[in-house]
Amino acid sequence: MKHNLKKPSPSMDQWLSEAKTDPQSSQAGMYLFHNGVVRVTPKAQVRQGLDDGTKVIKMEFGYDEVKVESVIEATKKLDGIVYVRVWLNEGILEVGDDIMFVLIGGDIRPHVIDALQYCVGRIKNECVTEIEQRD
């Protein structure tokens, strides 16, 4: 964890404008965003149905930049993908704060959806640390 100060969230309008000026943008037929947000419901409850009655009040979030860059590069190599951009927050996050943004651009819907699933899944499973603070 680098520090305890969360970062300001980027503008998705600006990201999309920049993506559309990328040299490969003429090959993109679709862009898809992911915006992960801190939720009040604990991960164990959502994923495994384990409800211990607690709620998330904050989350300590960090990531490994080298691993994230590796995932981005791997995502760019997927079929039909022409654009990948990732932003990750860090520090102590409140419920409702942005955790991550991912923008994927590609030729057709199935390729873009698959790439988004691949990229976000790998980041969540291999690159980040999320420590929920509960009430």
pLDDT of 2 above 70:
no
How much is the pLDDT for 47?
87
- pTM value surpassing 0.85: yes
Mean pLDDT score of the chain, rounded to an integer?
A: 95
pLDDT of 66 above 60:
yes
Q: Which residues of 7-34 are buried (b: 16+ CB within 10 A; e: fewer)?
A: eeeeeeeebeeebeeeeeeeebeebeeb
Tokens of 56: 């998330």
Q: How far is CA 31 from CA 68, 91, 101, 102, in A?
A: 20, 29, 13, 10
At 81, the pLDDT band (50, 70, 90 cuts) reads very high
How much is the pLDDT for 122?
98
pLDDT of 25 above 80:
yes
How much is the pLDDT for 3?
53
Q: Stretch 92-121: mean pLDDT, rounded?
A: 98
Domain range list for the chain: 12-134
CATH class of the 12-134 domain in this structure: alpha beta
How much is the pLDDT for 42?
92
